[in-house]
Amino acid sequence: MNTQLETLQAELAGNEPQLQALLQSLHQLDRYARRMQLLEHEDSMLAHLTTEAPQSNDKAVQADEGSTQAEDDSSRLGLMTSLAEMIDKLEQHVGMVMQAMNRWCLSVLGWELGILAILAGLVTGVAAMMGDGQPLPVLQAWWAELISRPLSLTVYSVLLFTIAAIVHFKLRKIVAGRIANKLQQVELEPFDTSRAFLRNTRIWHSIYRPQPVGWANRAQKQVSELRKQLTDKLAHPQDSQAA
């Protein structure tokens, strides 16, 4: 952690070790968010936390607003609430990236199956016209001629594979761009969901990838542990203050 973030963490947590531990756990998740490119390289989720507490209508709380203890309690509650919201945002955006990846995969496969169906229909139609309504004998004759000429079969196979690869990667790019444009409309600070999604659509990444690039089961485990700790602190604030 650089000096600036250390200072920020100390200012947010004050002299409370438990709050510092929670903030340190959140900062450890920064590396996964950066690897995913949800966050800028120099950005941190800590920089987007706030100590402003939610509004309360409790008269007892209002009566103590002038006391130092009330201010400390308010700041502590505001920080933990902000921390919980940040965790929710992180999980929400990781989920959005995974959903976008699934839509991307299904859309590309759907387009490719549609193109194959059209091509198969065209070839069958031409064969039917040449065979007086009987495409099968014509198709069998074409195939027999191809396999009798190994060189021609090789050339045609390479040409077909090249065209299929070009179409595949072109479709990947077009579909990814459309999905990314939709993601930009639902992004929440400080996360860039469209950029994280587009990282998974680079040419060397498979469309069948189960998890986003940069995210791992270990990261999800850390999120779950942090959420459990935070829930305990919010449910038992007296224990947290006593510690």
Q: What is the mean pLDDT of the chain?
A: 80
What does the block give as tokens for 169? 């990667």
Where exactly are the structural domains of the chain?
A: 3-242
Higher-confidence residue of 42 and 14: namely 42
| pLDDT tens column, 100-154 | 999 999 999 999 999 999 999 998 888 888 887 788 888 888 888 888 888 888 8
Above 50 in pLDDT, residue 243?
no
Position 6 scores a pLDDT of: 59
| pLDDT tens column, 46-62 | 888 765 544 444 444 44
Position 4 scores a pLDDT of: 55
What does the block give as tokens for 113? 């199956």
Rounded distance between C-alpha atoms, residue 133 and residue 130, angstroms: 8
Higher-confidence residue of 156 and 235: namely 156
Rounded distance between C-alpha atoms, residue 109 and residue 6, angstroms: 47
| pLDDT tens column, 51-102 | 554 444 444 444 444 555 555 566 677 777 788 888 888 888 899 999 999 9
Cβ-count burial of 12 within 10 angstroms (0-12 exposed, 13-18 middle, 19+ buried)? Answer: buried
Tally of CA atoms within 13 A in the half-sphere of 157 that contains its CB: 9
114 close to 77: Cβ distance less than 8 angstroms: no
